[in-house]
Structure 1
Amino acid sequence: MNDIHRLQHWFSSRRGRMVSIAVLIVALAGAAIGVRGWRGDDKSGIPAPTPSTEGPTSMVGRAPLTGLPTAEDLDRPAVTVKISNTPDAHPQRGLADADIVFVEPITGGTTRLAAIFHSKLPAQVGPVRSLRPMDAALIGPTKGIVADTMADRWVLDYVDRVADLDDLGTLRVPADTYRLDDTRQASSVTIGYGGSATANWTYDTASHRWLRAEKWSRHVIENDGQVAADNVIMLTANRDTSFPKAKPTMTILDVFDASGPLKLFTGDKVVTGRWSKGAVNESFKFTTTDGKPMLLAPGTTWVECALTTMPIQTR
């Protein structure tokens, strides 16, 4: 079975499938079902720096999406995989190797993940699920490819119309510090998505990382333990009501040509600031409350995207 046929087979089912990252890299043309190339102004959408008040250091020998040292040649596209996050999808596979993960509310009490892989490529990732309209703005800046189980025709048409294809471009070189303006201690944060999807992050003093749980259980990855991140971003946005074909139960966030508040949790600190984003393929910009650039610590980043009406509690 050739690479294209294998991808068509994997993406033909609605849930429970795992996707081979190696085959996705081979299929760069995006001809297989559920694989699309993306073009934008840069590949990073999120900078990845060290927790310091010093100026940015050289990114030579560092992974572009994490800022971590690497001896590997990373001249390859980023790969985004849409992953189910319902209780029956756990434990998921491959998430520990993601550089950036977006958590998207998709309907009442349900979230879905957009996991971006670049510095590490796991053998398998899943279970794979479908695209949503807001994926265009979240993944557009990566200039990579995305694996999914398709979507409603109007969603596919929208994504294909607003996201350019087949130009890998160059990776953005992130800065490597974050400013410590407007910070305070933090040990946990809860995001009220509703139902079983309500999520909690707790700072682990032993590993100096943030650990994720959902209302019903720790968030566990197959063979990799609990989900952990070096940076956790709480990004809140208004509801996007501009899609007439969207079902009333579908949650879509207004995340381009827009702005809103955010909180960055890194180390044992929380930094308050704002996010802004221009067109679909432009990067997110994060600033502190006084307008200075807010950059991140080296490592993995999870971005929890929530409606402004969803409660966020920090302790």
Structure 2
Amino acid sequence: MRSAWDTPVRGRSAAALGALVLGVALSACSDPGGPETAPPPRSTGGPQQSETPVPETHPFTGERKGIGNPVLAVKIENTRPALPQSGVKAADIVYVEQVEGGETRLMTVYSSQLPKRVGPVRSARISDLHILPQFGRPAFAFSGVQSKMKKHIRKAPVYDISQENAGGAYFRSGSKPIPYNLYADPKDLLKEAPKAGKARDIGFRFGDAPAGGKPTRSFTARWPSASMGFTWSKKHKRWLASFGGRPDRAAEGGRLGGETVVIQYAETTRSKFHDFLGNYTPLIKTTGSGRARVLRDGKSYDAKWSRPSDKEGTTFTTARGEPMNFAPGQVWMVLVNDGRPRTP
């Protein structure tokens, strides 16, 4: 957030002030019946002290690094055969979305920093095209989409740097079988989208935790065929992720997880798309408003989310209507159905 400086008020010299006061006094003596003239305000003789400016912070993390960098979003597999994943640890924002069969897939968003590689990279979904417009026109990396969805990708406000269009940035690696061995170099991906939009305000607010909150050790998010847990670590000062009851580890080492975890309850319906097995693709409604649970600093907060349209960001408020500040650092946006887990 940019901070304004107070405009200094310069003092007048003692000589100038004395001359002015003398002139006023002579004028009053020559016309005793005239109105009383107030003296000019006294000057302090120097500029007023201005407030210390608040430094700019990154709109995705609340931290100072990487401000003004372009935005890259990548689709990453999130099933057992794909683990451990590469590059998730370095993301500014991690979206967890339901896909066919009640499983989940990640969409990682980078701006403040880039990892050496990301993956396994997988295909895009229609819900991505409703989430991404709030970022302006980001670069979007994915392995492909079904043919019926290609026209929607072309119309979307993203730079399509899929494997089909930016093949040189992708490579096969490791012992995992296809399709779980496709990775990409983020720097090479961004070279294919030199005009990708820079990070901008998407509604997140960072700062001190609001009053209240319930001390919480752990929380588990559930989908029809998957679950992810988040356990508070006082030592690491962040929520450590688990997948299916097991520690969710990063390929680079250590546990995945973030300083803030947002459980966003959003209506999950059936889209017009489906996979080759006939399983319909979920459409997650991320516009409108709804309830949320925000995990930060070892506490859980009941919150509300609001997003007027696809092109606008999502704001979060407490139950009392105050801004729901996030803790600076990585944010996990965990999208679950508003109600029981369901396969549309």
Residues in 1 aligned to 2:62 and 2:333: alpha-carbon distance in whole angstroms:
17
- Taking only aligned residues, the RMSD between alpha carbons, in angstroms, comes to 2.2
User: Contact (CA 8 Å) 1:96, 1:224: kept in 2 or not?
Assistant: no
- 1:65 is aligned to 60
**Offset of 1:178 from its aligned partner?**
4.8
**Offset of 1:217 from its aligned partner?**
2.2
User: Contact (CA 8 Å) 1:181, 1:271: kept in 2 or not?
Assistant: no
- 2:46 is aligned to none
Residues in 1 aligned to 2:253 and 2:127: alpha-carbon distance in whole angstroms:
29
Distance change in 2, residues 1:63/1:245 (3 Å): closer
User: Contact (CA 8 Å) 2:86, 2:251: kept in 1 or not?
Assistant: yes
- 2:166 is aligned to none
User: Contact (CA 8 Å) 2:220, 2:228: kept in 1 or not?
Assistant: yes
**Offset of 1:194 from its aligned partner?**
3.3
CA deviations on 1:240-284 (whole Å, 9 max, x unpaired) are: 34x33445532221112x211100000011111111112212111
Q: Does 1:283 align with 2:313?
A: yes
Of 139, 145, 155, which aligns to 2:139? Answer: 145
User: Contact (CA 8 Å) 2:94, 2:107: kept in 1 or not?
Assistant: yes
- 1:188 is aligned to 218
- 1:230 is aligned to 259
Spell out the pairing of 1:187-226 with structure 2 (5 A cutoff).
187-195=217-225, 197-226=226-255
- 2:18 is aligned to none
Distance change in 2, residues 1:265/1:167 (3 Å): same
User: Contact (CA 8 Å) 1:191, 1:310: kept in 2 or not?
Assistant: no
Q: Which of 1 and 2 has higher RCO (CA within 8 Å, sep 6+)? A: 1
Residues in 1 aligned to 2:322 and 2:150: alpha-carbon distance in whole angstroms:
37
Query: What secondary structure does 1:221 align onto?
Result: coil
Of 147, 152, 161, which aligns to 1:158? Answer: 152
**Offset of 1:67 from its aligned partner?**
1.3
Q: Does 1:106 align with 2:99?
A: yes
> Structure 1: which amino acid aligns with 2:144?
M
**Offset of 1:83 from its aligned partner?**
0.2
- 2:298 is aligned to 268
TM-score, reference length from structure 1: 0.73
Residues in 1 aligned to 2:80 and 2:120: alpha-carbon distance in whole angstroms:
12
Using the aligned pairs only, state the percent identity: 25
> Structure 2: which amino acid aligns with 1:305?
L
User: Contact (CA 8 Å) 1:212, 1:218: kept in 2 or not?
Assistant: yes
- 1:21 is aligned to none
Q: Is there any run of 5+ residues in structure 1 with no aligned partner, and where? A: 1-56
Of 264, 278, 285, which aligns to 1:254? Answer: 285
Distance change in 2, residues 1:223/1:179 (3 Å): closer
- 2:30 is aligned to none
User: Contact (CA 8 Å) 1:163, 1:281: kept in 2 or not?
Assistant: no
- Indicate the structure (1 or 2) with the bigger Cα radius of gyration: 2
Distance change in 2, residues 1:249/1:289 (3 Å): same
Spell out the pairing of 1:102-141 with structure 2 (5 A cutoff).
102-141=95-134
TM-score, reference length from structure 2: 0.67
Across the two proteins, how many residue pairs are aligned to each other? 249
Of 68, 77, 87, which aligns to 1:75? Answer: 68
